[in-house]
Amino acid sequence: MIYLDNSATTKPDKAVLDSFHQVATQYFGNPSSIHGLGMDSERLLRKAREKASALLEVDSPEIIFTSGGTEGNNIALKGIALAHQNRGKHIITTSVEHPSVMEACEGLERLGFEVTYLPVDQEGRVSVDDIKFAITYETILVSVMHVNNEIGTIQPISEIGQLLSNYPKIFYHVDNVQGFAKVPLNIREANIDLCTISGHKIHGLKGTGLLYVKTGVKLFSLAHGGGQEANLRSGTENVPGIVGMVKAMRLAKERQAEINNLAELKQYVMDELSKMRHIELNTPKNGSAPHIVHFSAPGLKPEVVIHALEERNIFISTKSACSSKSADESQVLVSCGRSYEIASSGLRVSMSYETTKAEIDVFLKELTKVLDKLSKVMR
């Protein structure tokens, strides 16, 4: 099997699975219980929080464990909006965000908030000046993803943070689900107030994630009950999953030294795809993440290409897994100014540190066969 859909989810690392099994078996007490088993779980949870904060170079109380990127983004956006609506009801984001941000914003619009969806250039990048010009006295939040989950564009996160340092009452949220451990980002230096990370994108387990919440940032809780996670996310903590995710974070950080190798493999994929006559590249040549390559096969339905490759035991995708079953057109590509023909025929290859050049060569060979065959049928 050749798996090239790592932006949708990654295969859990064996060390992560081992940690999960050990904790689930030996530390099954409720962390909120006052007996010994509960206290053992609570200590383990505290250590996991300390390790996560050290990896992110932030303070331990600033880590809120969640079920993943979608929940983290919702807590950040809705939590800020509902807590600070008396000061203003204006939110700024971009037209290429993940569905969990876009739909959260749409939901807030139904509650009376105003959202500005900023345009992007042909590479999918937002302008810092556009953000500056969009700010009003009512603006309370700016939310911009670090790495685009479809085409891999890296946004100017630090530059936006520098701009927003001049507006201390505006909160800054960054969806870093695709960027963590692949594209360097210092949360403190970038002046970020809230930052989302997902476990299953870094060889952790599904249903795990975290939200960085800067000290002093007030959020309205979306889940009331037992008061867990600093009263922001009530509910018994998934200690085995959390421990596994933090281990995945550590392992991912350790492999950052291999970023150049991953980037070289990505460049090789792009170079080879650019030689194919049926292909249009969508991922920017510069300023994009080292693990994502997005391209279009105009005139062909992407699901047909995907299933043809699947028959050859090769797995790729179309766009975000959270939107791949929705309308044919990619909203990201439309926002980048692509034609309907390009925007409706997008395909995504997303690699991991485990991906080899031999696997890529097989993929390219089989893709060529598939495209030639399908093109003949279409003609």
From CA 197, how far away is CA 370, in angstroms rounded?
36
pLDDT of residue 321: 53
pLDDT over 80 at 113, yes or no: yes
pLDDT of residue 375: 81
From CA 40, how far away is CA 245, in angstroms rounded?
19
| Average pLDDT for 69-89 | 98
Cβ(157)–Cβ(180) under 8 Å?
no
pLDDT digits (tens, 9 = 90+) for 159-209: 999 999 999 999 999 999 999 999 999 999 999 999 999 999 999 999 999
Question: What's the predicted TM-score (pTM) here?
Answer: 0.95
pLDDT of residue 319: 67
pLDDT over 70 at 325, yes or no: no
Give the chain's domains with CATH numbers.
Answer: 2-9+257-378 (3.90.1150.10), 14-254 (3.40.640.10)
**Confidence class of residue 376 from pLDDT cuts 50, 70 and 90?**
confident
Which of 157-171, 197-211, 258-272, 324-338 is the least confident region? Answer: 324-338
pLDDT of residue 327: 55
Beta-bridge partners for 158: none
From CA 266, how far away is CA 293, in angstroms rounded?
7
pLDDT over 80 at 69, yes or no: yes
For the chain, how are helix, strand and coil distributed in percent, rounded to 5?
40, 15, 45
pLDDT digits (tens, 9 = 90+) for 270-304: 999 999 988 999 999 999 999 999 999 999 999 99
| Average pLDDT for 242-258 | 95
Q: Which helix (H) or strand (E) holds 179?
A: none
**Confidence class of residue 379 from pLDDT cuts 50, 70 and 90?**
very low
| Average pLDDT for 339-349 | 96
From CA 152, how far away is CA 150, in angstroms rounded?
6
Which letter does DSSP use for residue 155 in this model?
Answer: P
Cβ(236)–Cβ(228) under 8 Å?
yes
Average pLDDT, the chain: 95
Catalytic positions, please? Answer: 322
What percent of the chain is modeled with pLDDT above 90?
A: 94
- Residue 176: phi and psi, rounded to 5, are -110, 25
Q: Hey, how many other C-beta atoms are within 10 angstroms of the C-beta on 53?
A: 18
pLDDT over 60 at 324, yes or no: no
pLDDT over 60 at 61, yes or no: yes
